[in-house]
Chain A
Amino acid sequence: MSCAFVAGVGMTRFGRFPERFIKDIGAEAVLEAIRDAGVNPAEIEVAYCGHTRGGSTVCQRILNEIGISGIEMVNMEDACASGSAAFRYAYLAVANGMADVVLAIGVEKLSDKIKGVIPPRKDDLEGLFGRIMPSVFAMIAKRHMYQYGTKVEHFALVSYKNHLNAVKNPRAMYRKELSVEEILNSPVICEPITLYQCTANADGAAAAVVVSERKIKQLGKLPVRIAASVLCAGGARVEDWDYTVSLSTVNASRRAYEEAGIGPEDLDVIELHDCFSVAELVHYENLGLCPKGEGARFIEEKRSYINGDVAVNPSGGLLSKGHPLGATGLGQVYEVVQQLRGNCGERQVENARVGLTHTMGGGVSGLESGACAVHILVR
Chain B
Amino acid sequence: MRVPALKGICLYLPAFRIEKGLIASQYMQRARGTRTFRWFDEDECTMAIEASMGVVEGTGVDTIGCVIYAAEKGPYRRKSTASVIADVLGLSTDTLTVDITGSERVSAEGLLVAKRICEATGQEVLVTGGFCEHGEPGSDEDIHGGDAGWAMVVGEGGGIVLEEFWVARANVFVKWERGEDTYFLPDGFTVPFELLPTAAAILNRAIEKSGASKVVIGTSSNRLPSQLKRKLGDRNITLFHHDSTTTGVLGSASLPFAMADAVEKCEPGESIVMLAPGDGALAITAKSSDPDNVKIVRINAENPVVFDLYGLYRKIVTYSFEEADTSPIAYWRDAQRIFQLRGGKCGNCGKVFYPYSDLCPSCGFTPVRETVPLSREGRVFTYTTDHITPSPIGKVTHAVVELEGGGRIFVQMTDSLEEMVEIGAPVKLVIRRIHSGGGIENYGWKARMVK
Q: Spell out A's residues near B (CB within 8 Å).
A: 116-117, 122-123, 125-126, 128-132, 134-135, 138-143, 146, 187-193, 236-240, 243, 365-366
Does A142 lie within 8 Å of B389, measured CB to CB?
A: no
Does A132 lie within 8 Å of B389, measured CB to CB?
A: yes
Q: Identify which of B327, B331, B352, B444 contacts A129 (C-beta below 8 A).
A: B444
Size of interface on B: residues with Cβ below 8 Å to A = 45
A128 to chain B, nearest CB (A): 6
List residues 157-183 of chain B with CB under 8 A from any CB of chain A. none
A236 vs B353: C-alpha distance when bound (angstroms): 9
A132 and B400 contact, Cβ closer than 8 Å, known pairs A122-B324, A238-B362: no
Chain A residue at minimum C-beta to C-beta distance from B357:
A366
B184 to chain A, nearest CB (A): 35
Does B434 lie within 8 Å of A129, measured CB to CB?
A: yes
Does B352 lie within 8 Å of A239, measured CB to CB?
A: yes
A135 and B382 contact, Cβ closer than 8 Å, known pairs A238-B361, A239-B408: no
- Chain B contacts for A191, CB-based, 8 A: 384-385, 387
A141 to chain B, nearest CB (A): 8
Chain B residue at minimum C-beta to C-beta distance from A192:
B384
Does B445 lie within 8 Å of A122, measured CB to CB?
A: no
Contact with A along B314-337 (1 / 0, CB 8 A): 000000000011110011001001
- Chain A contacts for B402, CB-based, 8 A: 239
- Chain B contacts for A116, CB-based, 8 A: 388
A341 to chain B, nearest CB (A): 40
If A129-B446, A237-B361 are given as contacts, then 6 extra A-B residue pairs at C-beta distance below 8 Å, sorted by A number, are A123-B327, A130-B398, A143-B423, A189-B388, A237-B408, A239-B352
- Chain B contacts for A122, CB-based, 8 A: 324-327, 330, 435, 437, 442
Does B386 lie within 8 Å of A128, measured CB to CB?
A: no
Q: Spell out B's residues near A (CB within 8 Å).
A: 324-327, 330-331, 334, 337-338, 351-355, 357, 361-362, 381-389, 396, 398-400, 402, 406-408, 410-412, 423, 434-435, 437, 442, 444-446
- Chain A contacts for B353, CB-based, 8 A: 236-239, 366
- Chain A contacts for B355, CB-based, 8 A: 125, 365-366
A190 vs B351: C-alpha distance when bound (angstroms): 30
How many Cβ-Cβ contacts under 8 Å join chain A to chain B? 115
B352 to chain A, nearest CB (A): 6
A123 and B330 contact, Cβ closer than 8 Å, known pairs A132-B388, A190-B386, A239-B351: yes
A134 vs B387: C-alpha distance when bound (angstroms): 10
A128 vs B338: C-alpha distance when bound (angstroms): 10
- 16 A-B pairs with CB atoms under 8 Å apart are A116-B388, A117-B388, A122-B330, A122-B437, A125-B338, A128-B334, A131-B398, A131-B410, A132-B389, A134-B388, A139-B399, A142-B423, A237-B361, A238-B351, A238-B353, A243-B400
A140 vs B398: C-alpha distance when bound (angstroms): 12
A117 vs B398: C-alpha distance when bound (angstroms): 16
Does A143 lie within 8 Å of B351, measured CB to CB?
A: no
A132 vs B385: C-alpha distance when bound (angstroms): 12
- Chain A contacts for B388, CB-based, 8 A: 116-117, 132, 134, 189-190
- Chain A contacts for B324, CB-based, 8 A: 122
Does A129 lie within 8 Å of B400, measured CB to CB?
A: no
A123 vs B385: C-alpha distance when bound (angstroms): 23
A128 vs B398: C-alpha distance when bound (angstroms): 13
B321 to chain A, nearest CB (A): 10
Q: Identify which of A129, A140, A141, A239 contacts B407 (C-beta below 8 A).
A: A239
A145 to chain B, nearest CB (A): 9
B296 to chain A, nearest CB (A): 33
- Chain A contacts for B383, CB-based, 8 A: 139, 142
